[in-house]
Amino acid sequence: MSVPLFIRVALYLRQRSFLCFWASCACSLFAGESNSPTNQPVTSELPPPPEVVVSYICDSNNPEPIYQGLPVSQWIQANTLLNTNRLPLSKLLTLKQVSAADEYGTVTFEVPVNHNALTNNWVAGQITLGFFNKDGDFVECCFTDNERATNGHCLVSWDINYDSFGKHDVRARLNYCTGMDTIQVIGPPLPFYSSNVCRFFEGSSLFVSTGATLQAKLREPVATYRIELRTLKGKVIKTITGGTTNGMINVDWDLTDKHGRKFKGDSFDGLFYVSYPDDKTSNAPAGDRFNKLGR
């Protein structure tokens, strides 16, 4: 199933800090430009998105970079309210896990960045989670979100069911836009073990009126599975069982329930119980919520 346009656009905006780009466009459009006709050709080209001009990894051996004549930590302190506790950058971007993963794979971390300062100015910045891959590239975790903690810090949630299982050195990354520039600071690692028994795909949690495709990638080729489909209130609609030898679950459901009646709701929950040959205990399920297109 292809990923809908609105999801692809949302993911792109999140990854590229594109809000800063649109803000710069708005400034140029409303800065008193004349509406008088000219002989110049009209073009629809837009200015390029902000460039990352400062990038710093807190636990590296590199010296802190300079931005506008100041070390980046001093610039942040002098020009923003992100660091009201006056912490060094490594502490400012240190992750603290505050919740275990729930049945839908959502785990929450706290970062001592001032949430209001990050979000009140809608072009300011964002915090995402990620880790470095074997090539040294920073890879964002799938489906992260930010909320305000009661102490004013940032709470960053992550759906681990959309990333691979195993040990990850998770890091917080701050992107802060300053006009046409972006300051990027990546915090120190926090070891985290993701125990999800299967991995979902971005865009796979959508269905249409004729049916739904239930997909997941397993951590081993051979496994058996049980998928419980439930209403949002927890009532079991249908249970589907099976096995696989290629490391994939790929099941088409025609939306009929266990009594042969058509499911007419706009959303349902799927809990994937997966068993591998070498398991000594039962695995916790991986859950996902499926939403109807055009609901």
Neighbouring residues of 105: CB distance < 8 A, sequence distance ≥ 6: 159, 160, 161, 162, 196, 286, 287
- pLDDT tens per residue, range 144-175: 999 999 999 999 999 999 998 889 999 999 99
241 within a domain of the structure (yes/no): yes
Mark whether 228 and 146 lie in a shared domain: no
Q: Pairing state of beta strands 286-292 and 206-207?
A: parallel
pTM, 2 dp: 0.75
46 three-class SS: coil
Under 8 Å between Cβ of 62 and 80? no
**Confidence check: pLDDT of 273 > 50:** yes
Mark whether 186 and 254 lie in a shared domain: no
Under 8 Å between Cβ of 149 and 177? no
Mean pLDDT of 40-67: 73
Mean pLDDT of 287-294: 90
Res 121: pLDDT: 57
Beta bridge partners of 57: 186
**Alpha helices, DSSP H only, in the chain?**
5-16, 18-29, 72-79, 89-92, 115-119
Of 194, 216, 250, the domain-final residue? 194
Of 147, 167, 194, the domain-final residue? 194
For residues 144 and 280, give the distance between their C-alpha atoms in angstroms, rounded to a whole number: 32
Mean pLDDT of 194-205: 88
Q: Pairing state of beta strands 223-230 and 236-244?
A: antiparallel
Mean pLDDT of 40-64: 71
Neighbouring residues of 226: CB distance < 8 A, sequence distance ≥ 6: 239, 240, 241, 272, 273
Mark whether 182 and 222 lie in a shared domain: no
41 within a domain of the structure (yes/no): no
**Residue closest to 244 by CA, chosen among 269, 264, 214:** 214
245 within a domain of the structure (yes/no): yes
134 within a domain of the structure (yes/no): yes
pLDDT band at 54 (very low <50, low <70, confident <90, very high): confident
Residue % of the chain over a pLDDT of 70: 81
Mark whether 126 and 229 lie in a shared domain: no
- Buried b / exposed e over 24-40, threshold 16 CB at 10 Å, is beeeeeeeeeeeeeeee
Q: Which domain holds residue 159?
A: 5-25+46-194
- Buried b / exposed e over 128-147, threshold 16 CB at 10 Å, is bbbbeeeeeeeebbbbbebe
The more confident residue out of 114 and 37 is 114
Mean pLDDT of 255-261: 95
For residues 164 and 289, give the distance between their C-alpha atoms in angstroms, rounded to a whole number: 19
**Confidence check: pLDDT of 49 > 80:** no
Q: For residue 72, what is the domain's CATH number?
A: 2.60.40
Residue position matching structure tokens 């300053």: 178
Mark whether 14 and 134 lie in a shared domain: yes
Mean pLDDT of 208-215: 94
Mark whether 11 and 124 lie in a shared domain: yes
Name the amino acid, one letter, at 245: T
Lowest average pLDDT, out of 71-85, 108-122, 182-196, goes to 108-122
154 within a domain of the structure (yes/no): yes
Q: Pairing state of beta strands 181-186 and 51-57?
A: parallel
Of 173, 194, 215, the domain-final residue? 194
Name the amino acid, one letter, at 150: T
Res 4: pLDDT: 43
Lowest average pLDDT, out of 42-56, 89-103, 131-145, goes to 42-56
**Confidence check: pLDDT of 52 > 90:** no
Mean pLDDT of 174-190: 91
Question: How many folded domains does the chain comprise?
Answer: 2
Mark whether 18 and 151 lie in a shared domain: yes
39 within a domain of the structure (yes/no): no
37 within a domain of the structure (yes/no): no
Res 102: pLDDT: 87
Residue position matching structure tokens 């919740």: 99
Res 188: pLDDT: 97
pLDDT band at 283 (very low <50, low <70, confident <90, very high): confident
Residue 16: phi, psi to the nearest 5?
-110, 5
Mark whether 173 and 274 lie in a shared domain: no
Residue 178: phi, psi to the nearest 5?
-130, 85
Mark whether 173 and 66 lie in a shared domain: yes
Mark whether 176 and 72 lie in a shared domain: yes
Res 262: pLDDT: 95
Q: For residue 251, what is the domain's CATH number?
A: 2.60.40.4070
**Mean pLDDT of the residues in the chain:** 83
32 within a domain of the structure (yes/no): no
Res 119: pLDDT: 83
Mark whether 227 and 283 lie in a shared domain: yes
**Concatenated DSSP letters for 116-171?**
HHHHSSTTSEEEEEEEE-TTS-EEEPSSEEEEE-TTS-EEEEEEGGGS-SEEEEEE
Mark whether 160 and 103 lie in a shared domain: yes
